[in-house]
Structure 1
Amino acid sequence: MHGTTEAMRGEQPELVWYASYGSNMDAGRLRCYLEGGTPPGGRRSCPGCRDPRPPRRTTGHQVPGGIHFATESQVWGGGRAFLDRALPGSAALRAYLVSGEQFADLVAQEMYREPGDDLDLREVLRTGVSRLGPGRYETLLRVGDLDGHPVLTFTAPFSSAEVTPVAPSAAYLRMLLAGLRDGQGWDADTAAGYLAGCPGALGHWSPADIRALATNF
């Protein structure tokens, strides 16, 4: 279990699980981040990673906490998804086994930056959290370990209680629905009910309205 030993010592691991709870739960959306391109319904093109190869493995994952929607997405319009570990319940994520370099390039693209710089992951591996900066997706979290590799994600420095909720767009919710279907194996009703209960969507989108957005179920 060489990967676990590296992570326990806080060293740079060769491979990490990137756990997405937003649009990158959809494998086609993630492919745009890896290879470059514009996802269906998106407004921005992604430059892609230095290493465009697909993930080594993919699996569904869940962690304590919840998802909330806030700020304004330049890609989708409407609120972005953020992970708040203090929310009650369980947050659904889709984990992709990628290289440390690929993870760094994914983080850069989430902040609309050009990929190309590696990340020092020692702090997040050692303490469970690392602030790269004040940006919306610059707080790295270690949310577990899986098959000898650390599970990493990123979120905002603020909690759901510290920010005004913003309803997500239909295009964004449609992408999340697809990701939950593939990542968790959920049916449309289960996925729609989950999203409708998230702060930001709650009170703006009903389960039935979100269910109506589903395609290919």
Structure 2
Amino acid sequence: MSTPDTDLVWYAGYGSNLDPARFGFYLGGGRPPGARRAVPGARDSTPPRRTRPVELHGEMVFGWESPTWGGGISFFDATGTSTSASTSTVLATAYLLTSEQFSDVAAQEMHREPGTLLQLDQVLATRSHAYGPGRYETVHLVGEIDGSPVLTFTCDDPEHLPRNAPAGAYLATLTRGLRAVHGLADDDVASYLLGWEGMETWAPDEVARLVAATT
């Protein structure tokens, strides 16, 4: 891997941030559709310089209880230790941001106030670094695009995170992102969502109906 340009970084969103419209609230601020809380936005609300689909090597699980969505949310497992997952490729949307914008997005995901530049030296050196014990406070280096690092965040131990089914509003947001960025047909969206741990209480026909009804 070549020396990365840390003035610009790619943020890979695999959960609700799959949807570019939902991700935009982390830059501009406000309350996304279906969410229970507003976010303050970034100091620099400029849209991402580029947006593109990416695939992450690992697995995804649904767990915890989100105060924003009222159900489980997505967590990336870079080690791929979940045994029931039907796939080892996690679909994501990559946004090219300044390091300041990435820091402010990370702060909001960590339920902190934006405004502090996140030091990325440790992540770039070791490929993973925990900034705290919270749900999205572990940052992973998952690749490189055009000389800039691709980063995402998750919890420090997704393998042992208590599983919890996501709410319909959360799945609808993922659906919009999978359609808009990855071009998936409805059947493929439903199959993808059902393939991960935490979805066991969702019947396939329920997911199919939800996907079909999502606009």
In the other structure, the counterpart of 2:23 is 30
What amino acid maps onto 2:9 in structure 1? V
In the other structure, the counterpart of 1:102 is 101
Query: Is the contact between residue 16 and residue 150 of structure 1 (CA under 8 Å) also seen in structure 2?
Result: yes
Q: What is the deviation of 1:32? A: 0.8
Unaligned runs of 5+ residues in structure 1 are none
- The TM-score with structure 1 as length reference comes to 0.91
- 1 CA distance for matches of 2:39 and 2:184? 28
Unaligned runs of 5+ residues in structure 2 are 81-86
- 2 CA distance for matches of 1:170 and 1:80? 11
Q: What is the deviation of 1:216? A: 5.8
In the other structure, the counterpart of 2:204 is 207
What amino acid maps onto 2:206 in structure 1? D
Equivalences for residues 1-217 of structure 1 within 5 A: 4-5=2-3, 7=4, 13-87=6-80, 89-160=88-159, 162-201=160-199, 203-214=200-211, 215=213
Q: What is the deviation of 1:86? A: 2.5
Query: RMSD of the TM alignment (CA)?
Result: 1.6
- 2 CA distance for matches of 1:174 and 1:216? 6
Give the ranges of 4+ consecutive aligned residues of structure 1 lying more than 6 Å apart after TM superposition: none
Sequence identity (%): 46
- 1 CA distance for matches of 2:56 and 2:36? 30
SS at match of 2:24: helix
Q: What is the deviation of 1:112? A: 1.8
